[in-house]
């Protein structure tokens, strides 16, 4: 199969920025991306952009990809907004990869941007809620925290997963995020703090839930044949997979398996000629702490039902045999919806090149990594394997 390379990646700081709009945020990520291209890049070489975005709170629903692309000095390229809820960025990355694989374009941007903090709390709940099954879930009064709480309850019931296992995810990711200068929450928390957070939807409390975030990210994808024009250390796309599932969790065979993750990862592993054992580190979609535990199982890192012991034994710590969310994950780094998937790719690009800002967060000698991006409660999933 023809090869695709990633030769640059950038990200804005994640957080709350009332003085910045989606144009300014994306331009910040774009500048960071171009600065990471060792040998430089002429913007005229960029032929396409795929921008993940849920809708920026309804502010710029139409032509937003053209808006942010032209603000970066790319006014006449092929451009497309990709919307697949929280998996928008991951699908933007896959779209750019498929574009280059097809031979249509040689150089494309995969990016994402979201401005989440400019709308009221009630509008946020509506805006996010319509990413699930609007008729049978949102209009019945559920929220995403409520849906993931149901999943957590069932996982605890079936497998004996402990309340402490959920909190261990939050503690680990905050520890990593405290070392990430672009993370929204750069502070550690103790297990005791994580266990005593205010209840949001039992058993999930405040420390089990990711935040609403402003931010942007951008990744430069190109034909591998020209990658050395940009850098001597490109990162290659080993494989990718996408899959959907029933939007409403009551329609699924099991509420403790994200079938989209399982199928998408199987496709990515097959394309890459790898198995879960070959993955040395991963950035997974921890919108809620239970989501990270599910990812361990559904990506094949451990057996179904064994995610609790897996984190308790330290496997997913930096320094463990399968570090997960060295960036801090959605929980600490932040979750600007459209940007999350390409933000994960930004982290993996730097991890595999050994260019993470702080050595304490660098996974040593990593050559193969996986990024996993989930839309809603599992309705859409993308998995991409990257290798040095």
Q: How confident is the model at residue 60 (pLDDT cuts 50, 70, 90)?
A: low
Residue 126 lies in a domain: no
Residues 6+ apart with CB under 8 A from 24: none
Q: Are residues 164 and 310 in the same domain?
A: yes
Residue 125 lies in a domain: no
Q: Are residues 13 and 136 in the same domain?
A: no
Residue at which a domain ends, from 202, 221, 236: 236
Residues 6+ apart with CB under 8 A from 159: 256, 304, 305, 306, 307, 308
| 86 labelled catalytic | yes
Whether residue 125 has pLDDT greater than 70: no
The reply to whether omega before 307 is within 30° of 0 (cis) is: no
Residue 133 has a pLDDT of 81
Residue 141 has a pLDDT of 80
Residue at which a domain ends, from 236, 269, 288: 236
Whether residue 132 has pLDDT greater than 90: no
Q: How confident is the model at residue 291 (pLDDT cuts 50, 70, 90)?
A: very high
200/330 Cα distance (integer angstroms): 17
Residue 163, domain extent:
131-211+238-387
Residue 58 has a pLDDT of 61
Q: How confident is the model at residue 1 (pLDDT cuts 50, 70, 90)?
A: low
Provide the number of structural domains found in the chain.
Answer: 2
Residue 196 lies in a domain: yes
Tell the burial category of 122 from Cβ atoms under 10 Å away from its Cβ (0-12, 13-18, 19+): exposed
| Cβ atoms of residues 355 and 314 within 8 Å | no
98/100 Cα distance (integer angstroms): 5
CA angle 158, 175, 156 (to 5 degrees): 5
Residue 363 has a pLDDT of 97
Whether residue 47 has pLDDT greater than 70: yes
Q: How confident is the model at residue 127 (pLDDT cuts 50, 70, 90)?
A: low
Q: Are residues 37 and 69 in the same domain?
A: yes
Residue 313 lies in a domain: yes
Q: Are residues 75 and 12 in the same domain?
A: yes
Beta strands in 196-274 (DSSP E): 199-201, 204-205, 215-223, 235-244
Q: Are residues 289 and 337 in the same domain?
A: yes
- The catalytic position among 105, 155, 335, 372 is 335
Directed axis angle between helix 259-272 and helix 289-298, to 10°? 50
Distances (CA, A) of 284 to 26, 120, 212: 23, 28, 18
| Cβ atoms of residues 35 and 227 within 8 Å | no
Over residues 173-187, the pLDDT tens digits come to: 999 999 999 999 999
Residue 308 has a pLDDT of 98
Residue 78 lies in a domain: yes
Residue 9 lies in a domain: yes
Residue 19 lies in a domain: yes
**Short-list 249, 149, 254, 154, CA closest to 200:** 149
What number is the average pLDDT over the span 371-375?
98
Global pTM exceeds 0.85: yes
- The catalytic position among 72, 86, 287, 302 is 86
Q: How confident is the model at residue 144 (pLDDT cuts 50, 70, 90)?
A: confident
Q: Is 261 helix (H, G, I), strand (E, B) or coil?
A: helix
Q: Are residues 244 and 304 in the same domain?
A: yes
Residue 184 lies in a domain: yes
Over residues 205-239, the pLDDT tens digits come to: 999 999 989 999 999 999 999 999 999 999 999 99
CATH classification of the domain holding 50: 3.40.47.10
Q: Are residues 55 and 103 in the same domain?
A: yes
Q: Are residues 242 and 359 in the same domain?
A: yes
State the sign of the Cα–Cα–Cα–Cα dihedral 68, 69, 74, 79: negative
Q: Of all residues in the chain, what percent carry a pLDDT higher than 90?
A: 88
Q: How confident is the model at residue 138 (pLDDT cuts 50, 70, 90)?
A: confident
Whether residue 18 has pLDDT greater than 80: yes
Q: Are residues 267 and 231 in the same domain?
A: no
Whether residue 142 has pLDDT greater than 90: no
Q: Are residues 219 and 265 in the same domain?
A: no
Residue 358 has a pLDDT of 87
Q: Are residues 269 and 329 in the same domain?
A: yes
Q: Are residues 156 and 190 in the same domain?
A: yes
Average pLDDT along the chain: 95
DSSP for 298-343 reads HTTSS-TT-HHHHHHTTTTSTTSSS-B-TT-HHHHT---GGGHHHH
| 372 labelled catalytic | no
């Amino acid at each position: 199969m023809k090869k695709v390379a990633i030769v640059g990646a950038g990200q804005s700081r994640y957080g709350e920025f009332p003085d910045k709009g989606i144009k300014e945020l994306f331009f910040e990520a774009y500048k960071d991306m171009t600065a990471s291209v060792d040998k430089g890049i002429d913007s005229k070489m960029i032929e396409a952009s795929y921008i993940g975005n849920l809708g920026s709170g309804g502010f710029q629903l139409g032509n937003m990809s053209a808006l942010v692309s032209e603000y970066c000095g790319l006014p006449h390229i092929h451009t497309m907004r990709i919307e697949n809820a929280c998996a928008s960025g991951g699908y933007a990355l896959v779209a750019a990869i498929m574009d280059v694989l097809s031979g249509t374009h040689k150089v494309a941007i995969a990016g994402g941007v979201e401005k989440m903090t400019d709308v009221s709390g009630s509008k946020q709940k509506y805006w996010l809620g319509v990413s699930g099954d609007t008729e049978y879930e949102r209009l019945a009064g559920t929220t995403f925290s409520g849906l993931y709480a149901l999943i957590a309850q069932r996982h605890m019931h079936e497998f004996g997963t402990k309340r402490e296992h959920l909190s261990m995810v939050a503690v680990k990711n905050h520890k990593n995020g405290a070392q990430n200068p672009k993370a929204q929450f750069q502070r550690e928390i103790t297990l005791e703090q994580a266990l005593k957070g205010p209840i949001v939807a039992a058993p999930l409390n405040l420390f089990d839930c990711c935040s609403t975030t402003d931010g942007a990210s951008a990744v430069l994808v190109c034909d591998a044949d020209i990658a050395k024009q940009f850098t001597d250390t490109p990162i290659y796309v080993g494989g990718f997979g996408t899959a959907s599932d029933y939007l409403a969790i009551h329609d699924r065979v099991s509420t403790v398996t994200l079938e989209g993750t399982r199928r998408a990862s199987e496709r990515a592993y097959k394309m890459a000629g790898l198995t879960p054992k070959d993955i040395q580190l991963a950035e997974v979609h921890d919108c809620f702490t239970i989501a990270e535990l599910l990812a361990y199982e559904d990506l094949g890192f451990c057996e179904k039902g064994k995610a609790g012991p897996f984190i308790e034994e330290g496997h997913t710590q930096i320094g463990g045999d399968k570090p997960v969310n060295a960036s801090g994950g959605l929980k600490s780094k932040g979750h600007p919806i459209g940007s999350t998937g390409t933000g994960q790719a930004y982290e993996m690009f730097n991890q595999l090149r050994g260019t993470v800002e702080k050595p304490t967060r660098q996974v040593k000698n990593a050559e193969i990594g996986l990024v996993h991006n989930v839309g809603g409660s599992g309705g859409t999933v993308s998995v991409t394997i990257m290798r040095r």
